[in-house]
Amino acid sequence: MVDGDAGRRAPAPATSPAAEEAEFLWELRKYVLLLATLAATVTYTAGLDPPGGFWTDNVGELLAGDPVLQKTYPRRYKAFFYCNATAFVASLVIVNLLLVRFLCRRRWWLRALQAAMTLDIPPLYSAAAAQMTTSTRRRLGSEPGAAAATSDRFAFSIIIFGIFDFVRSV
């Protein structure tokens, strides 16, 4: 190093508006993709292990492998099933649309997908509510898998709010 170079720094790279826009779109795409992937994971897991579990034996008209909640609380099961399925399919659609490179270069398109992801949250929480709601005869969380599903959705909520806060600030 020469004595004259000691106080100098390399000039900051010039950032054009196009480069800043590309960086913003890339960050937005990453976070919407993360949210959609997390929602798909949580809903897929909940679909594999529905609240109440499954019947283990054939007893009368009850078949082994059928969801317990379907027979014991049919309205709760329908609410859980339809909300969970809606959130799952919406998340998969968002993930697949984010994989189309041409569309991800458009700010309005990514904002639309971000709004779609926001609209994907109510069915996710409705499925959680149907899963956690109990009758007066049962304690909250007394069903197998209810505590794990509740903690999954709680962790998902924390991640969602952190990411939405970040995306809003950008």
Q: Which domain holds residue 113?
A: 24-169
Q: Which two tokens stand for residue 162?
A: 């952190």
Mean pLDDT of all residues in the chain?
Answer: 76
pLDDT at residue number 127? 81
DSSP state letters, 127-152: HHHHHH---TTS-TT-STTHHHHHHH
Q: How far apart, in Å, are the Cα atoms of 39 and each of 7, 18, 55, 62, 99?
A: 51, 31, 27, 31, 17
Is the residue at 119 inside a domain? yes
How far apart (Å, rounded) are the C-alpha atoms in residues 126 and 80? 7
pTM of the model: 0.67
Specify the number of domains making up the chain. Answer: 1
Residue 13 lies in a domain: no
pLDDT, tens digit, 9 for 90 and up, residues 58-103? 888 888 888 888 888 888 888 888 989 999 999 999 898 888 878 7
Q: Does a structural domain hold residue 5?
A: no
Q: What is the sign, positive or negative, of the torsion defined by CA atoms of 164, 92, 156, 159? A: negative
- pLDDT tens for 38-53 read 889 988 988 888 888 8
- The answer to the question of residue 161 being in a domain is yes
Residue 80 lies in a domain: yes
pLDDT at 137: 40
Q: Is residue 78 part of a domain?
A: yes
In a domain, 75, yes or no: yes
40 belongs to a structural domain: yes
